[in-house]
Chain A
């Protein structure tokens, strides 16, 4: 046993996933749509709204929709109704008073520079307001900008139009950037693990989620009783199982375990009976 205990230090890693707020916010529903603002323009990055929309499916299907331990199911929602100041407005977190104050002042002088109003679910757009990005080398920013209690209602992803850095990336890297930003929209923060999608820099060969990403999305959107992938319809899986005594675990996993194991015992008993009846008939 003491030799086994010696192994324990080796299964500790320095890095871990983080969350982008201190209250573990996530979308209430595990089914979330990702839209492109229909009126956004990206002349500096030389991409069209159709180009942007075509990045959504691979960004969600190759990354976030691949985690069986998470109940999350992202879908492309196509184009959303355009927001008038989407291309120039200021994106502020609802708790960032400094940002809101600055945006109010700017919006008084030029309404197009005011705060971008929140939308439902996740919206992607291009934006040329330098104040949103803090530098031309920043590819994009994401802020969950509408909450209901501890739940995210809407999040906005803005691609930096003050430089052509995003437009110069390969298609695979653009997909990686969009997938990373969707991770922020879902509630995840950065990690220092270079293998993870939520690492703070882009890496050239981004093909799958890293372990940190998988753990993080499973924490924010846990699945309660996935019945071989059929749970959405059969058990109505709905996310969090809290061990907090105020929120006791749901019955679905227990129910499904009973069914599965009960089936085993039944099968075992049937086989045993068949065996004994064969033995009797032989004698």
Chain B
């Protein structure tokens, strides 16, 4: 993880310093929904369309032309706890987009993410119904992570230094049965530090 963060920071700083074009830093607050419409959310067959999973992040806006931008960013879906804190899930997004201003107030994005999903199991057990009796089942007791590369598309409505963005992430583009789409709704503040 340290290696990955270090590499990410190195890449961003190298490309940015070479260009000397870090005009704008942006900060994200949003909510992340994993696997849109493919997660059962109740016992009557309903599926989840929106999930409240607070997400924080920050990134850089590097101007390539007046209309084109390079937008590397890092986001963190805040820890999701389950089973009285026996399992804690963190999702980290290392991502970068190319952005294009279609209109003065609208920007489209296309890019990719490395999604790092970590589950921290704290062990322990619980008794749960098992047929006609209860049985002991166990909580995970290790730290394990999944890494996925996703193909991403986003659309952003911009006014002044604020923006609202719908960011989508397509998992397993080349594998039909595992293909899923997650999304995040972001509120973004663009801070032009040279002004």
**Residues of chain A whose beta carbon lies under 8 Å from any beta carbon of chain B:** 4, 7-8, 10-22, 24, 61, 65-70, 133-135, 137-138, 141, 189-192, 194-197, 199-201, 203-212, 214-215, 218-219, 222-230, 240-244, 249, 253-254, 256-258, 260-262, 264-265, 267-269, 271-272, 275
Q: Could you mark each residue 170-183 of chain B with 1 if its beta carbon is under 8 Å from any beta carbon of chain A, else 0?
A: 01111101111000
Question: B195 at interface (Cβ–Cβ under 8 A)?
Answer: no
Kindly report which residue of chain B lies nearest to residue A243, judged by CB atoms.
Answer: B143
Docked Cα-Cα span, A188 to B122, in Å, equals 16
Specify which of A11, A208, A229, A241 is in contact with B173 (CB 8 Å cutoff): A229
Q: Which residues of B contact A257 (CB under 8 A)?
A: 4, 7-8, 94, 114
**Residues of chain B whose beta carbon lies under 8 Å from any beta carbon of chain A:** 1, 3-4, 7-8, 11, 14-15, 18-19, 29, 34-35, 38-45, 47-48, 52-54, 56, 62, 64-65, 68, 70, 72, 78-87, 89, 94, 96, 98, 111-112, 114, 116-117, 119, 121, 125-126, 128-133, 135, 137-151, 171-175, 177-180
Min CB–CB distance A29 → chain B (angstroms): 17
Specify which of A10, A199, A203, A219 is in contact with B144 (CB 8 Å cutoff): A219
Q: Which residues of B contact A253 (CB under 8 A)?
A: 4, 114, 116, 147
Q: Which residues of B contact A65 (CB under 8 A)?
A: 177-178
Kindly report which residue of chain B lies nearest to residue A223, judged by CB atoms.
Answer: B146
Docked Cα-Cα span, A149 to B80, in Å, equals 32
Min CB–CB distance B167 → chain A (angstroms): 16
19 of the cross-chain contacts (CB-CB < 8 Å) are A12-B82, A12-B85, A16-B83, A17-B140, A19-B140, A141-B131, A192-B128, A194-B42, A214-B34, A218-B119, A219-B121, A219-B144, A224-B147, A226-B171, A228-B149, A253-B114, A257-B7, A261-B94, A268-B62
Specify which of A68, A197, A244 is in contact with B171 (CB 8 Å cutoff): A68
User: With A10-B52, A12-B81, A68-B178 given, is the CB distance from A19 to B147 under 8 Å?
Assistant: no
Q: Which residues of A contact B148 (CB under 8 A)?
A: 68-69, 223, 226
Docked Cα-Cα span, A244 to B142, in Å, equals 8
Q: Which residues of B contact A7 (CB under 8 A)?
A: 54, 78
